Structure 1
Amino acid sequence: MKITAFEVREDERPFFEKLARDQHLDLVLCPDPLNMKNLRMLTDSAGISVLGRSRLDAGILDCLKERGVRYISTRTIGYNHIDVEYARSIGLKVSNADYAPNGVADYAVMLMLMSLRNYKQALYRGNVNDYSLPGLEGREMRNLTVGIVGVGKIGRTVIENLRGFGCRILAFNRHPVPDLEHQVTFVPLDTLYRDSDIISLHVPLHAQTYHMIDRSAMSQMKDGVILINTARGELIDMEALLDGIETKKIGALGLDVIENEEGIYHKDRRTDIISNREMAYLRQFPNVTMTQHMAFYTIEAVESMVSCGVRNLLEFEKCGSCRLEL
C-alpha cells in the first residue's frame, strides 16, 4: 500500500521510517501541508495522513477522490480541519488519532499553577535580576473550585491529577459519567461558570462549542476567574477575551491555543511580520501565559500519533473499517 504523509515534522520521521520498514510500506513523506499545489505527489497513493494545517475542504477532497485516494487519517484528535461529512458523501473514509491524554492533562494543570503563582512575571523579573516580591503573591489550589468543561479522556485525566491538590472540582459534560460522580460534582454549565475560580476547557470544536466562551458566558463567571484552554482556540471569542482581560473580569489566562493561530504556531516566524494584532496585544499582559499549541507534544504522544496515522490507513485497506472517534 502506498501512503503519502503531509506536514511531517523531523521528530515524526524516525517513527514513520520504522513503520515503513516493519510494514513494508511505500511511504512518501512531505513536510508541507496538503494543498492544491502538491496534490501531484499523490500518484498511486491509496491513503494520506495529515496534521491540522492541511485544510481538507470539498475542493481538496474532490481532487483526492479523482486521484484515487480512498482513505484519510489525521494524526490529531481534533478533526475540524476536515469536512468529514462531505468526505463520507463521496466515499472517502476518515480516521483521527488517539493518544494517551496524560500529556495534555498535565499541561493544563501546569498552566493552572503558573497562573495561580504569577510565574510569567516571576520569570521575567528573574531574567532582569529583579528579585522583588510585590505583585507576585499567589493562591493555593486547595482553597479553590476548579470547573472542568468536557469529561472525555483528557478532562477526566485532569480531574485525576487535581484530586491530589484537595480542591473542589465541578464538571460539565453533555452525557452522564456515572463512574466519576463520587469524585466530582456534575453541574449545569451556568452553575460551573458561576461557582468556579478556575475553568479549564476540554471539549472538541464543532458548531455547538464554537465561541462557547463569549461575553454572555463571561458575565456569569466570578470576577478574577482563571481560564485555561488546551483544546481549541475557537472555543473562546477573542474579542470577549480581550474585554475580559482589560476589565479585569479575567484574573489570568493560560492558553496553549488561540483563535486564528493558523499559519503562526509550529513555525519559526522570528523575522516575519505577523498579522494577528489580537495575539500580539493579548500576549503582552502580565497575567497571560501563552504557549505555541504544544500541550500534546511529548515523545509518547508523537509516536502514538504517527502509529495511529499509519495503522488506521492499513486497517481501512485490510477490512474496510476503522474506529473513527467522532
Structure 2
Amino acid sequence: MRILFYDTKKYDSDSFDKVLESHPGIKIKYLKTDLAPVTASLAAGYDAVCAFVNSEVGKETVEKLHEVGVKLILMRCAGFNNVDLETAESYGIRVLRVPGYSPEAVAEHAMALALGVNRRLHKAYVKVRENDFSLSGLMGVNFHGKTAGIVGTGKIGAAMAKICHGFGMKVIAYDVYENPEVKEFGAYVSLDELLANSDLISLHCPLTDNTRHMINMKSIRKMKDRVILVNTSRGALVKTDDLVEGIRERKFFGVGLDVYEEESTNVFEDRSNDILEHSTTARLLSFPNVMITSHQGFFTEEALRAIAEITLDNAEIFEKRADTPNEVKIQ
C-alpha cells in the first residue's frame, strides 16, 4: 500500500518512521503541503492519503481524490468534521480515524490550561523575565473544594474528570451517554445545572450540529460569575464573539483555549512576522485572563506514537477489507 502523507512536520515523519518497520507492506511519501482541492491531484498513483484535523477534505477535495483513484482517507486524529463523508461514501472511499490515542495527554493539557490561567502563569513568567517580582495581578483561587463541570465524558472527558477528582474537586458531568467510570466519583446533571454550579467548565465534546456554538451568550449568562472555561476539544463549540463579550462583561475568572474558531490558518504555523488584521485571536490575547495554545493538547511522545500505530493499523485493516470501529460513516 502506498500512502501520501499531507501536512508533514518533522515530528510526524519521525513518529511514523519509528513504527513503519512493523508494517512492511506500507510505503509512505511525506509532503509538507496540506490536503486541499488544489493539492488532491498529487495523490495520483497512491492508494490512500493521510490528513490531519486542519486539512480541507470537503466535497471538491474528495471528488478529486476519487478522480485519481484514492480509495482510503486516513485521518491521523479523532476529529472528522472537516471531511465530506457523504461524498466519500458515494465514491466508495472509506474514512478511518484515530478515535483514541492518549486521552490523558489532552486531559493533562486541559488541566494545565486551567491551572495556568487560574494562577496567571503566563503573566508571571513575563513579569519575572523583566525582573518584576511583584505579585500584582497574579491572584488565583484554590481548585480544592471547588466544582468541576465536565461537558462530554468520553475517554478524554473521563480522564479530565479523574484529574479534577484527584485535585479534591467535586465533579459533575453532562453527556448524552453516561460513562460508568465517571459515575464512580461524579454525578451526571443537566447542562443547565452544570453551567450554573461549576467553578471550572472543561469542554470535551465532538463538534456536531447539536454542539456547534453550545457556548454562546445564552449559556454564558447561565454560568456562575468568575467561572474558568477551558476548551481543548473543537473551536466551534464556542461562539467566539459571544465569548469576547462575556469576557468584557467580566463573567470569566479565566479562559484557557487550545482550540478556537479562527485557528485553521494559525495552527502549527509560525506567524510571528505577520500582522493579524481583523484577528479574533489577537482580540482574545488582549485580555489578561486568557491563555491560548496552538492545538497542542495531543502533543506528547506517547500520543504521537499511538497515532502512528493506529493509523498504520487502519491502513492494514483496509487492505484486508475488514470492519473496524475506527471507520467513520454517515449516521
TM-score with structure 2 setting the length: 0.94
Task: Quote the offset at 1:108 in angstroms.
Answer: 0.8
Task: Quote the offset at 1:265 in angstroms.
Answer: 1.7
C-alpha separation in 2, matches of 1:120 and 1:16: 33
Residue 12 of structure 1 contacts residue 303 of structure 1 at CA under 8 Å; is this kept in 2? no
Aligned with 1:242 (options 240, 244, 248): 244
C-alpha separation in 2, matches of 1:302 and 1:3: 18
SS in 2 for 1:199: strand
Could you say which residue in structure 2 is the equivalent of 1:310?
312
Q: CA RMSD in A?
A: 1.6
Could you say which residue in structure 2 is the equivalent of 1:292?
294
Runs of 5+ unmatched residues, structure 2: none
SS in 1 for 2:325: coil
More deviation, 113-122/143-152: 113-122
More deviation, 280-289/148-157: 280-289
Could you say which residue in structure 1 is the equivalent of 2:129?
127
Could you say which residue in structure 2 is the equivalent of 1:209?
211
Mapping of 1:1-326 within 5 angstroms? Answer: 1-22=1-22, 23-97=24-98, 98-324=100-326
Residue 172 of structure 1 contacts residue 189 of structure 1 at CA under 8 Å; is this kept in 2? yes
C-alpha separation in 2, matches of 1:274 and 1:219: 30
Q: How many residues are aligned here?
A: 326
User: What is the CA deviation profile of residues 265-297 of structure 1, one whole-angstrom value per residue up to 9, with x for unaligned ones?
Assistant: 201111122245221011121111111111110
C-alpha separation in 2, matches of 1:136 and 1:124: 12
C-alpha separation in 1, matches of 2:56 and 2:187: 38
Residue 120 of structure 1 contacts residue 287 of structure 1 at CA under 8 Å; is this kept in 2? no
Task: Quote the offset at 1:175 in angstroms.
Answer: 1.1
Task: Quote the offset at 1:241 in angstroms.
Answer: 0.6
Partner amino acid, structure 2, of 1:14: D
More deviation, 5-14/185-194: 5-14
C-alpha separation in 2, matches of 1:285 and 1:131: 21
Task: Quote the offset at 1:196 in angstroms.
Answer: 0.5
Task: Quote the offset at 1:20 in angstroms.
Answer: 4.1
SS in 2 for 1:109: helix
C-alpha separation in 1, matches of 2:107 and 2:147: 17
Runs of 5+ unmatched residues, structure 1: none
Determine what percentage of the aligned residue pairs are the same residue.
33
Task: Quote the offset at 1:104 in angstroms.
Answer: 0.6
